[in-house]
Amino acid sequence: MSDPLRIVVVGNGMVGQKLLEELAERRPSGLDITVLCEEPRPAYDRVQLSSFFSGKTAEDLSLVPPGFFERDGLVLRLNAKAVAIDRSLKQVTTSTGETLPYDKLVLATGSYPFVPPVPGRERPDCFVYRTIEDLEAMTEAGGRSKVGVVVGGGLLGLEAAKALKDMGLETHVVEFAPRLMAVQVDDGGGRVLRQKIEALGVTVHTQKNTVEIVDGEARRHAMRFADDSVLETDMIVFSAGIRPRDELARASELGVGPRGGIVIDNHCRTLDDDIYAIGECALWDGKIYGLVAPGYEMARVCAAHIAAAVPQEDADEPPQFTGADMSTKLKLMGVDVASLGDAHAATPGARVCVYTDERKQVYKKLVVSEDGKYVLGGVLIGDAEAYGTLLQMMLNRMELPPEPEFLILPSGDGAARPALGVDALPDAAQICSCNNVSKATICAAVRDGAHSIGKLKTATKAGTSCGGCVPLTTQLMKAEMKRCGLSVNNHLCEHFPYSRQELYHLIRVGRIETFDELITRHGRGRGCDICKPAAASIFASCWNEFVLKKDKAALQDSNDYFLANIQKDGTYSIVPRIAGGEITPEKLIVLGEVAKKHRLYTKITGGQRIDLFGAQVHQLPLIWKELVDAGFESGHAYGKALRTVKSCVGSTWCRYGMLDSVSMALAIENRYKGLRAPHKIKSAVSGCTRECAEAQSKDFGVIATEKGWNLYVCGNGGMKPRHAELLAGDLDDETLIRYIDRFLMFYIRTADRLQRTSVWRDNLEGGLDYLKDVVVHDKLGIGAELEAEMAQVVGSYACEWKKAIESPEVLRRFRSFVNSDAPDSNVVFVDERNQIRPATPEEKARFKGVPVIAESA
């Protein structure tokens, strides 16, 4: 075998990482890759960088799958910068003085933020917006500041402004050009955009040229402009464009453009055949692409070209880079902004059609070819729904309908616009530009069984980067599924042609109280393990009857049917309610005694209560009788219902406590206990912002402040953690409860089956603002209704276990066998750390038939 091909990659940014993935996927044998990464961490998602401010961590943003760098032939050097290239010796020198020989060298050095040469720009608390370290420093300064200025009103500048605004600063944007986002949008669009941004409380200054930054009087800095006006601020973020990092190339005479950028050919090669440049540092056909999708395309082209240098069987002609489309669609501070192709109508003969609605603040511009047949470009502000259609029409040169202006005009009669049927797209149409996925690839994956957007993402990678193509991909998926004769709907299951939300309305409006009536009137067949528990949950949310009433019992999952959580060996666990995590010594002793008597395994749960494990069906009522007698109630750990309301010790004991968090947690838990919902609901109350109760990870969380309670909603721990968002602040007790009533009932009414509040919120059109409108501002006028519905549930609470042990008919069902009092001989325990645990299959085989073995395992 020949010696391995030594490859050095300089830069582990988004594009550099894509190159490594592409190489790994092709797996040409005999590559020996060293990656120099100047930053202290491997590649992360710069596109999503701003989400760092909404709680995403560096790990969340990582683009590196676990174990990626552990493979053979791949070495990553963090904090390692390349400082020189010796082209004749074919080696790279690093900042640590090492030299690395290469056969092929790839420069993926990205760009640096341009800071205009204004005197005073080196002052403290002046920042750029490019790396995680930049954002960390901004966060720190934000905490000490009241006013923030962003220099530059482009895409990134507006993102930075949003970040400052979210930190609670008085925010200004200073732009040199006469309008915002000058590159992407025209004057008309810029005007609408400005109105929208200002409506959000950001002050915009256009045509301002900063001449110096000096000490301020009231604030840290004073910025002086060419027109002699002055703006005082505590911190400044420069976002005045980017410049390619071509310093290595310059020093080794690799050929750079007049305004920077490493010149490359269609294979991404520089003028040295063994050196490539890709991503934002590369200059192709006189153009630098400041977007990630063209960079990814370069990475693919480059990887293919390198792989072709290694002898292999299927040596296809490697693909070439032939330019990329720069169309973009984004949501900037909640405003839809899209720019396509020739947005400024620079093409000779181009015809322009503009639609503006000053009241709704919508601006749309369509640029078509001279003969009116093709889309050349466009600008959409405030409503970018037409983006997907227009982009595909442009990229695929699809012939336009006779009156193309209808593509951007709102339809007065409510009729659908001539949207682009996905059927009309050619097979080769590129649907996901980030990952170069075509319509044909997506349709093929659907035919192979990818029938959800999640599966489709795994199968094709479409939609996994910027996410912009997800709506179109979903449309394609549905169309293809229809073509295959598959049904596409949000129906609960084969028995009900409705979503959970629709079923909820049918039940409430029709006052339906039994499953028989429901399925006779609105469904078909006999029901199943999906629709029965869903219906039972809705009945409970609406009418709150005893879940074990004869006609309801048959609808309940095993957990609800036996009012306990089933375990892997068929035994059950018992979780009594310990509201707010507060418990008396007497009650603790009872739990200990009951557990000891029935030989149950005991554990403190993650929800501040105590779980008793290993009870068989016939033991449950005996155990619960003792617990109910001692004053315990069901903890509903088995139900899609309110679980725990955790609390911290609060102002009663804690020296920092602002309010009595324990009392509030008790009040909340006792109010909503037993409340059935589409999924489980958890809550917590903290006595101050130190947040010892972790309220911001809960479906609804409450934190005490100097001025009252802050209410956070839609947080989640679990599989996909999500920080809760502030719904309302500084509330008194009564308003707090009112908002929680409304919030919970609104969720119960509208969520899908098994949808936690976090997922529900992520799918809620209008997002947090809409939720505030409904709950706080009562825009829908349903506040009183929601409160009344909650009052009915709260007023009809009864402990399910108390009712169960008082009903002989129900108790008869708690038997392991209908014709014998014997226990299940398949349930076998062994001792471990002085408690029981289920025996393993091997242990069972050894001890067959003996119920409890008192032997250390």
Partner 1 sequence: MDGSNMDGPSTDTGWTDVCAVDDIWPNTGVCALVEGCQVAVFRLVDDGQEQLFAIDNGDPFSDANVLSRGLVGNLGERLVVASPIYKQHFDLATGECVEDPGVSLRTWRVRVADGRVLIAA
Ligand X SMILES: Cc1cc2nc3c(=O)[nH]c(=O)nc-3n(C[C@H](O)[C@H](O)[C@H](O)COP(=O)(O)OP(=O)(O)OC[C@H]3O[C@@H](n4cnc5c(N)ncnc54)[C@H](O)[C@@H]3O)c2cc1C
Which one of 148, 657, 674, 678 is in contact with ligand SF4 (CB under 6 A)?
Answer: 657
Dihedral in degrees, nearest 10, Cα atoms 296, 298, 304, 305: -160
Size of the site for ligand SF4 (CB under 6 A): 13
- Of the candidates 611, 633, 660, 789, which one interacts with ligand SRM according to CB under 6 A? 611
Choosing from 468, 614, 621, 783, the residue that interacts with ligand FES (CB under 6 A) is 468
Indicate the residue among 388 and 621 with the shorter CB distance to partner 1.
621
Judged by phi (left if over 0) then psi (alpha if -120 to 50, else beta), residue 212 lies in: beta
Burial of residue 233 (CB within 10 Å: 0-12, 13-18, 19+) is buried
Interacting positions 545-574 with partner 1 (CB under 8 A): 550, 553-559, 561-562, 566, 568-570
Regarding 775 and contact with ligand SRM (CB under 6 A), the answer is: no
Applying CB under 6 A, does 463 fall inside the site for ligand FES? Answer: yes
The entry of ligand SRM, ligand SF4, ligand FES, none that residue 657 binds, CB within 5 to 8 Å by partner kind: ligand SF4
Q: Is 575 in the site for ligand SRM (CB under 6 A)?
A: yes
Strand pairing class (275-277; 104-107): parallel
Nearer to ligand SRM, 268 or 685 (CB): 685
Site string for ligand X, 299-338 (x = CB under 6 A): -------------------------------x--------
Taking the complex as a whole, how short is the minimal distance between the CB of residue 680 and ligand SRM, in angstroms?
Answer: 6
Q: Is 648 annotated as a binding residue?
A: yes
- CB neighbours of 691 closer than 8 A, spacing ≥ 6? 648, 703
Q: Tell me: is residue 688 an annotated ligand-binding position.
A: yes
Q: Which two tokens stand for residue 715?
A: 């947080």
Residue from 434, 443, 637, 658 binding ligand FES (CB under 6 A): 434
**Which contacts qualify for 819-824: CB closer than 8 Å, 24 or more apart?**
821/618, 823/616, 823/618, 823/851, 824/570, 824/616
Comparison of 492 and 711: residue with beta carbon closer to partner 1: 492
Measured distance CA(523)–CA(521) in Å, rounded = 6
Q: Distance (Å, rounded) from C-alpha 187 to C-alpha 199?
A: 18
Nearest 5°: CA angle at 231, between 229 and 232? 145
Is residue 817 a contact point for partner 1 (CB under 8 A)?
Answer: yes
708: left (phi > 0), else alpha (psi -120 to 50), else beta? left
382 counts as binding ligand FES under rule CB under 6 A: no
- Total residues binding ligand X (CB under 6 A): 35
> Judged by CB under 8 A, which of 483, 526, 690, 777 binds partner 1?
526
| Distances from the Cα of 404 to the Cα of 348, 371, 407, 472, 651, angstroms | 19, 12, 6, 21, 66
| Using rule CB under 8 A, residue 342 touches partner 1 | no
C-alpha–C-alpha distance, residues 32 and 74, integer Å: 6
Should residue 726 be labelled a site residue for partner 1 when binding is judged by CB under 8 A? no
**Residue 469 contact among ligand FES, ligand X, partner 1, none, beta carbon within 5 to 8 Å by kind:** ligand FES
SS (H, E, C) 742-808: HHHHHHHHHCCCCCCHHHHHHCCCCHHHHHHHHHCCCCCCCHHHHHHHHHHHHHCCCCHHHHHHHCH
The least CB distance from residue 685 to ligand SF4, in Å, is 9
Question: Tokens for 840?
Answer: 């393993």
Closest to 406 (Cα-Cα) out of 366, 362, 356, 360: 366
- Residue numbers 237-276 binding ligand SRM by CB under 6 A: none
607 touches ligand SRM by CB under 6 A: yes
- Extract the tokens encoding 838: 């289920």
Q: For residue 713, give Cα distances in angstroms to 288, 729, 818.
A: 43, 12, 46
Give me the least distance between CB of 65 and ligand SRM, in Å please: 21
* Alpha-carbon gap, residue 312 to 744, rounded angstroms: 61
Binding of ligand FES by 391 (CB under 6 A): no
Considering the complex, state which of residue 252 and residue 473 has its C-beta at the smaller distance from ligand FES: 473
Number of residues located near ligand FES, criterion CB under 6 A: 12
For residues 837, 841, 845, 849, the Cα torsion angle rounded to the nearest 10 degrees is: 50
262 lies in the binding site for ligand FES (CB under 6 A): no
Whole-angstrom distance, CA of residue 486 vs CA of residue 480 = 9
Q: For residue 79, give the 3-state DSSP assignment.
A: coil
Using rule CB under 6 A, residue 467 touches ligand FES:
yes
Q: Is 483 in the site for partner 1 (CB under 8 A)?
A: no
CB of 142 to ligand SF4, least distance (A): 23
For the beta carbon of residue 686, count every other beta carbon within 10 angstroms: 28
Bridge partners of residue 709, in order along the sequence = 704, 731
Under the binding rule (CB under 6 A), the answer on residue 559 touching ligand FES is no
- Report how far residue 609's alpha carbon sits from residue 604's, in angstroms, rounded to the nearest whole number: 6
Binding partner of residue 692 among ligand SF4, ligand FES, ligand SRM, none, CB under 5 to 8 Å per kind?
ligand SF4
Would the annotation count 493 as a binding residue? no
What is the pattern of x (binds partner 1, CB under 8 A) and - over residues 439-458?
--------------------
Among 466, 759, 771, 774, binds ligand FES (CB under 6 A): 466
**CB nearer ligand SRM, residue 377 or residue 576:** 576
152 binds ligand X, rule: CB under 6 A: no
Neighbours of 804 (CB within 10 A): 23
Among the listed residues 5, 9, 13, 20, the single contact to ligand X using CB under 6 A: 13
Using rule CB under 6 A, residue 717 touches ligand SRM: yes
Of 205 and 329, which has the nearer Cβ to ligand X? Answer: 329
Q: Could you tell me which of 22, 15, 259, 290 has the C-alpha nearest to residue 155?
A: 290
Residue 444 found at the interface with ligand SF4 (CB under 6 A): no
Question: Among residues 393, 688, 727, 736, which is the contact residue for ligand SF4, using CB under 6 A?
Answer: 688
Closest distance to partner 1 from the beta carbon of 595 (Å): 22
Q: Is 542 annotated among the ligand-binding residues? A: no
Nearer to ligand FES, 464 or 501 (CB): 464
SS3 706: coil
Q: Kindly state whether residue 432 participates in binding ligand FES, applying the rule CB under 6 A.
A: yes
Strands (E), 40-115: 74-77, 82-86, 91-94, 99-101, 104-107, 111-113
Question: Is 465 a binder of ligand FES (CB under 6 A)?
Answer: yes
**β-strands 5-10, 104-107: how paired?**
parallel
Distances (CA, A) of 16 to 571, 669, 823: 53, 51, 63
Task: Please identify which residue in 110, 382, 404, 657 interacts with ligand X, judged by CB under 6 A.
Answer: 110
* Residue 434: count of CB within 10 angstroms of its CB: 23
Per partner kind, with CB cut-offs from 5 to 8 A, the member of partner 1, ligand SF4, ligand SRM, none near residue 820 is partner 1
Instruction: Tell me if residue 129 falls in helix, strand or coil.
Output: coil
User: Cβ distance 522 to 508 under 8 Å?
Assistant: no
Binding site, annotated residues for siroheme: 692
Q: Which positions lie near ligand FES, rule CB under 6 A? A: 432-435, 462-469
Q: Which positions lie near ligand X, rule CB under 6 A? A: 10-16, 36-39, 46-47, 49-50, 81-82, 108-110, 129-130, 156, 159, 245, 248, 279-280, 290-293, 295, 330, 466
Binding site, annotated residues: 648, 654, 688, 692
Q: Which positions lie near ligand SF4, rule CB under 6 A? A: 648-650, 654, 656-657, 661, 686-688, 690-692
Q: Which positions lie near ligand SRM, rule CB under 6 A? A: 565, 567, 573, 575, 603, 605-607, 609, 611, 637, 643-644, 680, 682, 716-719, 756
Q: Which positions lie near partner 1, rule CB under 8 A? A: 494-495, 525-529, 531-533, 550, 553-559, 561-562, 566, 568-570, 617, 812-813, 815-820, 822, 824, 826, 841
Binding site, annotated residues for [4Fe-4S] cluster: 648, 654, 688, 692
